[in-house]
Amino acid sequence: MKRTISLFLILMMVLTVPACAAEQTSPAPAENSETAHTSYTDVAPDDWYAEAAEYVLEQGIMNGTGNDRFSPQETFTRAQLATVLYRIAGEPAASGEDSFTDTDSDAWYADAVLWAEQTKVVNGVGNGRFAPGDPVTQEQLVTMLWRMEGEPSEAAASDASPYAAQAVGWARENGVAPATADYTFAPKENAVRGQIAVLLQGYLLWKEEPNMDQISLTLAGQSVPVEWENNPSVDALRNLLRSGPLTVELSRYGGFEQVGSLGTSLPRNDGQTTTVPGDIVLYSGSNMVIFYGSNSWAYTRLGHITDKSKAELEALLGGGDMTAVLSLAGR
C-alpha cells in the first residue's frame, strides 16, 4: 500500500510541473494597470491627450461619442461646450429663456446655454445668435473659462482676437493652455476633442491649486492673514506678483493709516468708503493703504486683515514707518 501511494505522489508531482511553469511565464497583471489601457478604443495609452480624455471622463464632464469611442480629432460645437461648462459649474438651476434667436428652448442644450448667458460666460456671435452648431475655437473655449473666473486682468496675447486676447494670455500664464511638443495652442483654430480635453484638464487642475494664487502679506516681518476682495484690482495685483514678491515701503500718515506706493497703477473702481481698522485699499490707483483707524474717502477696496483687534492693529501699524511684502504662495 505504501509503495502504491509513493508512486501516486511521484506521478502527481510530474504532472503538475508544466502547469507551474506556465504560471511563472504568464504573471498576473499588476494592480495598478491604469496606464496599460484607456476607456476608448480609438485612444492609445501613449497618445498625448490620453490622460486628459480619461480625466474628463472620470470627472463626469466630457464623455465619448458612443461605441467606446472618444473621437479625438472631431470638432466640438458651441452647444456641446456650453453643456460641458454647465457640468463644471454643477448644473445650477436656471429659469427663463435665453435671448438668442437661433436656439430652441426645448433642445438638449437649453439649460446650459441659458445658464451661460445669464452668468455672462457667453455673449453669442453677434446679431442675436448663439450658433449652437458651429465648431468652437480654442480661444472661444479659454475665453469662456476666463469669464467663469471673473475675467482676471492679464497681459493680452498678440495672436488672439481682440475679445479673447486677455483670456488667452491668462490661459497661457496659468498653464491652462499648454505648449508641448505634441500640442501648441492656436487661439483662432477650431478645437478638436483631444485638444478640448487637454484644455479642460489644465483648467480643472489649476482650480485644484487655489493656494498657488493666494496673496500673502507680511508687515515688519510678521505674516498677516488677509481676506482679499474679488475684483479687477486684486486680480491685477495677483498678476503683478507672478513675477515675484513686491516690497512696499509704508509711511504712517494721519494717525490712522500706513501708505506706500506699489510702483505701478492698478485698475481702480473708487467709491466713497468709510474704512475700519484692518481695511486695505487702493488710493489714486498706485498706493496701498492699510488702516489701523478710520477715514472716509474715495477708495477701491483690496482686502481686510482678519485676525487682529483694533488695539493689535494700532500696536502693529501705529509705531512708525515699516516694510510690507506682498507675494504669492508657492512663488
Could you report the per-residue pLDDT of 45-68, keeping only the tens digit for each? 999 999 999 999 999 999 999 999
The answer to whether the beta carbons of residues 82 and 148 sit under 8 Å apart is no
Specify the higher pLDDT residue, 140 or 238. 140
Q: pTM, whole model, 2 decimals?
A: 0.57
Residue 206 in this model has a pLDDT that exceeds 70:
yes
Residue 16 confidence class, pLDDT cut points 50, 70, 90: very low
The answer to whether the beta carbons of residues 115 and 109 sit under 8 Å apart is no
Convert the pLDDT of each residue in 282-323 to its tens digit: 999 999 999 999 999 999 999 999 989 999 999 999 999 999
What CA–CA distances, in Å, run from 94 to 12, 65, 208? 73, 27, 26
* Amino acid, res. 12: M
Checking DSSP bridges between strand 226-228 and strand 215-219, what pairing results, if any? unpaired
Rounded Cα–Cα distance for residues 261 and 279 (Å): 17
Residue 183 confidence class, pLDDT cut points 50, 70, 90: confident
Report the residue count for the chain.
331
Checking DSSP bridges between strand 279-283 and strand 226-228, what pairing results, if any? unpaired
The answer to whether the beta carbons of residues 288 and 282 sit under 8 Å apart is yes
Average pLDDT over residues 244-273: 95
The answer to whether the beta carbons of residues 136 and 77 sit under 8 Å apart is yes
Q: Which CATH architecture has domain 213-328?
A: Beta Barrel (2.40)
Average pLDDT over residues 15-35: 31
Radius of gyration of the chain from its Cα atoms, rounded to whole angstroms = 29
Give CATH 2.40.100.20 domain extents, the chain.
Answer: 213-328
Give per-residue burial for 134-172: e unless 16+ CB within 10 Å, then b: bbbbbbbbbbbbbbbbeebbbeebeebeeebbbbbbbbb
Rounded Cα–Cα distance for residues 321 and 257 (Å): 10
Residue with cell 512696499: 248
pLDDT > 70 in the chain, percent: 87
Q: What is the pLDDT of residue 331?
A: 54
Residue 11 confidence class, pLDDT cut points 50, 70, 90: very low
Residue-wise DSSP of 133-193:
TSBPBHHHHHHHHHHHTT----PPPTTS-GGGHHHHHHHHHTTSS-B-SS-B--TTSBPBH
Specify the higher pLDDT residue, 198 or 178. 198
Nearest alpha carbon to residue 215 among 207, 206, 225:
225
H/E stretch holding 325 reads: strand 322-328
